[in-house]
Amino acid sequence: MDVAKAENPQSSAQVAREVARMILTGVWREGTTLPREIELASRFDVSRTSIREALSLLKAKGLIASKQKAGTHVRARFDWNMLDEELLNWTLSALPTQEFAKQILEVRRIVEPEACAICAARGTDEDFARIERAYRGMDAAGMDRVAYAEPDLQFHRGILIATGNDFLIAFGATVAAALRMSFDLSSTNPGAPRKSLPYHRTVLDEIWARNPDGARQAMHKLMDLTEQNIVTAMSRQKKKDTKDTEDENARTRRAR
C-alpha cells in the first residue's frame, strides 16, 4: 500500500502545503519538534516517501530543519524564506490579514519606485515598448478585473526587467506572488482597475521621457492609490465577515 501511495505525484505537494499551513497559523510554533515520519505518513495517509519529499521542500524554504537524533523542528521565523513565491501563496491562503498585506506593500514601496527611476535612466526602447504593450493590455481589459490582472503584473515586472540589474530582475521573480496578491486585494473595489489606469499611464510617460525623478514620483503615487484600495478592500471584507458571523449567530439562536 505504501508503494501505491508513493505513485501519487500530488501527495508530497499537498502534505508540504498542509504542514506549512500548520506552521504559518501557529499550530506548530517555532522550535516545535514535528512528529516522526511514520506518524506523519499515518496522519496524512500518504507514503513515507511523500513525507520525506514534503519535508525536503519545506527545508528548502527555511521553515524546518533536521538534526541527527533530535528530529525535525520548526525554525525561527526570521529564517523563513518569505520571498519564495510558493510560500507567499501559502501564507496568503493561511493568513489573509491586513498586516500581511501591509508588509507586502512595504516591499513594493522599497523596490518599485527606485526601479522605475533606474528603468527610465538606462532602459532601452525595446524595454519601454514591452511595458507599453502591458499597459495596452490593461487598457483593453476595461472593467474586467480578471483580464486586467495579468498585464498589470507584466507592467510592473517589465519595469524591473528594464533596470538591467540581475538582482532586481531575480527579486521581481520572487515577489511575483506578492505583487499578484496586492493587485487582487486592491482591485476588489468596484472600478479599481480602471481608476488606476491613468496612474500607470503617467508612470509609462515618465519612463518614455527618460525622467528618473518623474518616474519615481509617479510610481509613489500609484503605490498610494494601491494602498488606499487595499485598506478599503480589507475594511469591506472585515465588515462582511462580521455581518456573516452575526447572521450565523442569529440563525443559531432561532434554531434553539
Instruction: Please state whether 253 falls in left (phi above 0), alpha (psi between -120 and 50) or beta.
Output: alpha
pLDDT band at 186 (very low <50, low <70, confident <90, very high): low
Taking each helix axis from N to C end, the angle separating 10-24 and 48-60, rounded to the nearest 10 degrees, works out to 50
For residue 208, name the pLDDT band (cuts at 50, 70, 90).
very high
> If we measure between CA atoms, which residue out of 85, 5, 93, 100 comes closest to residue 53?
5
Whether the Cβ atoms of residue 37 and residue 52 lie closer than 8 Å to each other = yes
Are residues 117 and 168 in contact, defined by beta-carbon separation less than 8 angstroms?
Answer: no
Domains and CATH numbers, the chain: 2-79 (1.10.10.10), 96-246 (1.20.120.530)
Q: What is the DSSP letter of 62?
A: T
**pLDDT band, residue 4 (cuts 50/70/90):** very low
**CB-based burial label for 210 (10 Å; 0-12, 13-18, 19+):** middle
Of residues 5 and 62, the one with the higher pLDDT is: 62
Check: CB of residue 56 under 8 Å from CB of residue 65.
no
Collapse the DSSP code of 97 into the 3-class scheme (helix H, G, I; strand E, B; otherwise coil) and give the result.
Answer: coil
In a 13 Å sphere around the CA of 42, the CA atoms on its Cβ side amount to 4
Rounded CA Rg of the chain = 22
Query: Is residue 199 pLDDT above 70, yes or no?
Result: yes
- Highest-scoring range by mean pLDDT, 5-19, 50-64, 234-248: 50-64
C-alpha cell at 160: 524591473
> If residue 227 lies in a helix (H) or strand (E), which one and from where to where?
helix 212-255
Reported as type and span, the H/E element at residue 102 is helix 98-122
Q: CA torsion sign, 77 to 80 to 82 to 88?
A: negative
Q: What is the pLDDT of residue 221?
A: 97
What pLDDT digit, counting tens, does each position of 86-104 carry? 888 888 778 766 777 788 8
pLDDT of residue 43: 93
